């Protein structure tokens, strides 16, 4: 943004009230700023909401996903099938353990993992030889039976889990669900985060609820839950003392201040989700008939979209850069969404990916534009963004 143009709508915003401020201040008036009773209470609220047997709070969604990868036992050279249309963390956590992300192209409508490609990839990787090679990166991987799937609920819409879990069951693949964008989303009436052996919700300030930084892992697997709790806490098993560490662990603990904030946000979750739904509806009403762009596609299986961002797809002949620039000049921030993971510099260097490897992901990556979005957005602000957008699109038509 040019320093001369004042931002008229924030890109995103947390939704905080006196109740959150009071809860955080109450923790500040105690000496217990870590490992107190706020964390288990916050975990319990997320656990109950999700319907899982166990919930483990951590200091970011990324740490949560990393612990899932450790608990899954994905290690050096193991192949894990995942999507390049995601936030970088879902692939990075595999690299932390030297596992190899095997990317597959996505469903063009939802941007989520395409189950038919997943089935094909697994079958051909099992077959080996030339058939398997097609699914591997140019370097840095050896064909073998994949160990797992890491699915992502993109923009708050669940992936197609009946199809994915059928494949995972048939081929004995461990499924991790990255629900970091999807707290509260529904797939055929069931909660996002309930389909993998483990799943993670995240609470950065632009997510549905926030703890500042933070995440919660949910799982029904008691052994994995105990292991992840130990890893979160410097590898201390339940019977370990403060300076005894059964495992190689981390400090992934969530501060009590954050947990207290999260507790209140969870109490307000239904209100926050409903407000986000309203803002998304205002946008869709105004934009669904605009030419040269599409609004978010909802799959039939999505019984509730948990709106994380509001992303539009511009037509190929519209310059996204131009649209973004015109909006910026009008004081409206936007973000290109997502940048394909396989084309990030370190991924190219390590695995030899090239433009053209995942055409659908790259196409979505070129055309997606996230508009300002939060639960505190007013209808007037939505009007402002939509009016400026409707002016900008025809001006950005490439001849
Ligand atoms: C937000 C997010 C994460 C976790 O991010 P943190 O900033 O570490 O909390 C992971 N995956 C996806 C898809 C996300 O959107």
180 Cα to the center of ligand 1, angstroms: 5
62 Cα to the center of ligand 1, angstroms: 6
pLDDT of residue 367: 98
Rounded to the nearest 5°, which phi and psi values hold at 117? -70, -35
**Paired sense of beta strands 310-314 and 368-371, if any:** antiparallel
> What percentage of the chain's residues is helix, strand, coil (to nearest 5)?
40, 15, 45
Residue 399, pLDDT > 80, answer no
The residue among 356, 272, 371, 253 whose CA lies nearest residue 312 is: 371
Ligand 1 site, residue 370, Cβ cutoff 6 A:
no
Ligand 1 site, residue 211, Cβ cutoff 6 A:
no
Question: Between the CA of residue 134 and those of 125, 143, 148, what are the distances in Å?
Answer: 9, 10, 18
Ligand 1 mutation pick, 61, 177, 335, max ligand atoms within 8 A of CB: 61
Structure tokens at 355: 């433009």
What integer best gives the mean pLDDT of the chain?
97
pLDDT of residue 237: 95
Ligand 1 atom with the smallest distance to the CA of 63 is 8
Q: Where are the domains of the chain?
A: 18-267, 269-395
The residue among 51, 10, 16 whose CA lies nearest residue 203 is: 16
Which residue's CA is minimally distant from atom 6 of ligand 1? 61
Residue 234, pLDDT > 80, answer yes
Helix, strand or coil for residue 56? strand
Ligand 1 site, residue 178, Cβ cutoff 6 A:
yes
Residue 5: pLDDT band (50, 70, 90) is confident
- Report the C-alpha gap between 64 and 135 in whole angstroms: 27
Structure tokens at 24: 């955080």
- For residue 293, say if its preceding peptide bond is cis, omega within 30 degrees of 0: no
pLDDT of residue 388: 98
Residue 2, pLDDT > 80, answer no
Ligand 1 site, residue 87, Cβ cutoff 6 A:
yes
- The answer to whether residues 8 and 330 touch, using CB atoms and an 8 Å cutoff, is yes
241 Cα to the center of ligand 1, angstroms: 32
- The answer to whether residues 187 and 161 touch, using CB atoms and an 8 Å cutoff, is yes
67 Cα to the center of ligand 1, angstroms: 14
pLDDT tens figures, 25-81: 999 999 999 999 999 999 999 999 999 999 999 999 999 999 999 999 999 999 999
Ligand 1 atom with the smallest distance to the CA of 215 is 9
Question: Can you give the pTM of this predicted structure?
Answer: 0.98
The residue among 135, 140, 147 whose CA lies nearest residue 95 is: 140
Return the CATH architecture of domain 18-267: 3-Layer(aba) Sandwich (3.40)
Ligand 1 site, residue 90, Cβ cutoff 6 A:
yes
Question: Between the CA of residue 194 and those of 15, 152, 362, what are the distances in Å?
Answer: 26, 13, 29
pLDDT tens figures, 151-192: 999 999 999 999 999 999 999 999 999 999 999 999 999 999
200 Cα to the center of ligand 1, angstroms: 9
Ligand 1 atom with the smallest distance to the CA of 154 is 13
Structure tokens at 157: 């819409």
Ligand 1 site, residue 153, Cβ cutoff 6 A:
no
Rounded to the nearest 5°, which phi and psi values hold at 174? -80, 130
Return the CATH architecture of domain 269-395: Alpha-Beta Complex (3.90)
pLDDT of residue 69: 99
64 Cα to the center of ligand 1, angstroms: 9
Ligand 1 site, residue 204, Cβ cutoff 6 A:
yes
Which residue's CA is minimally distant from atom 13 of ligand 1? 87
């Amino acid at each position: 943004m040019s320093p001369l143009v004042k931002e008229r709508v924030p890109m995103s915003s947390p939704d905080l009230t006196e109740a959150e401020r009071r809860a955080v201040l109450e923790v500040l008036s105690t000496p217990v700023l870590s490992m107190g009773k706020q964390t288990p209470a916050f975990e319990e609220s997320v656990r109950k909401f999700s319907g899982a047997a166990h919930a483990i709070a951590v200091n970011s969604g990324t740490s949560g996903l990393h612990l899932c990868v450790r608990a899954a036992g994905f290690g050096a050279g193991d192949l894990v099938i995942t999507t390049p249309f995601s936030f970088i963390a879902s692939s990075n956590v595999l690299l932390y353990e030297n596992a190899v992300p095997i990317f597959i192209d996505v469903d063009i409508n939802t941007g989520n993992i395409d189950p038919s490609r997943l089935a094909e990839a697994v079958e051909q990787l099992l077959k080996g030889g030339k058939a398997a090679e097609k699914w591997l990166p140019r370097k840095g991987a050896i064909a073998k039976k994949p160990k797992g799937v890491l699915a992502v609920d993109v923009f708050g819409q669940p992936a197609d889990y009946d199809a994915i879990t059928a494949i995972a069951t048939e081929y004995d693949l461990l499924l991790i669900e990255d629900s970091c964008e999807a707290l509260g989303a529904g797939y055929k009436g069931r909660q996002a985060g309930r389909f993998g052996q483990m799943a993670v919700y995240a609470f950065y300030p632009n997510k549905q609820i926030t703890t500042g930084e933070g995440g919660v892992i949910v799982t029904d697997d008691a052994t994995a839950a105990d292991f992840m709790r130990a890893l979160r806490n410097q590898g201390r098993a339940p019977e370990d003392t403060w300076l005894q560490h059964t495992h190689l662990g981390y400090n992934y603990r969530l501060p009590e201040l954050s947990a207290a904030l999260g507790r209140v946000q969870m109490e307000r979750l239904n209100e926050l989700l409903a407000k986000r739904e309203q803002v998304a509806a205002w946008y869709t009403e105004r934009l669904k008939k605009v030419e040269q762009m599409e609004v978010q596609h909802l799959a039939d299986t999505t019984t509730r979209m948990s709106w994380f961002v509001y992303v539009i797809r511009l037509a190929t002949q519209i310059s996204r850069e131009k649209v973004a620039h015109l909006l910026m000049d009008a004081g409206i921030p936007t973000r290109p969404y997502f940048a394909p993971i396989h084309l990030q510099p370190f991924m190219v260097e390590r695995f030899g990916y090239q433009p053209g490897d995942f055409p659908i992901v790259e196409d979505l990556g070129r055309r997606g534009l996230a508009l300002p979005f939060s639960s505190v957005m007013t209808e007037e602000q939505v009007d402002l963004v939509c009016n400026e957008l409707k002016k900008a699109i025809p001006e950005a038509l490439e001849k």
